[in-house]
Amino acid sequence: MYHRHISEWNYTKCSKPFASQQEASEYMKDKDLAGYVLERESGFTAVCPTYPDGYYPDAKVVLTLENSKGDLQAKRASSPSCC
């Protein structure tokens, strides 16, 4: 289900491709977005905190970024924990 407000990400911008990790990181920092930078077979992808593990089978998380609102921490706190 789409959440109305997760930082500045929206369902059309929850994933954005970049040529380098630095470009992806700068984009997220400039826009104060929380989320992850993924290394992929063909470059890098910035994704929002609700990015589902395994959605991109070729992806490896290379950077985790928090924003000023603490969106990533809030998502972690609301996720069910194991055991």
How far apart CA 77 and CA 28 sit, in angstroms, is: 21
Please classify residue 36 by burial: count the beta carbons closer than 10 Å to its beta carbon, then call 0-12 exposed, 13-18 middle and 19+ buried. buried
Spatial separation of the C-alpha atoms in residues 68 and 37, rounded to whole Å? 17
pLDDT in tens, 39-82: 999 999 999 988 888 888 999 999 999 999 999 888 878 765 54
Backbone angles phi, psi at 81, to 5 degrees: -95, 160
The structural domains of the chain, with segments of one domain joined by +, span: 1-66
Radius of gyration (C-alpha) of the chain in whole angstroms: 12
Reported as a single tens digit per residue, the pLDDT across 19-46 is 999 999 999 999 999 999 999 999 999 9
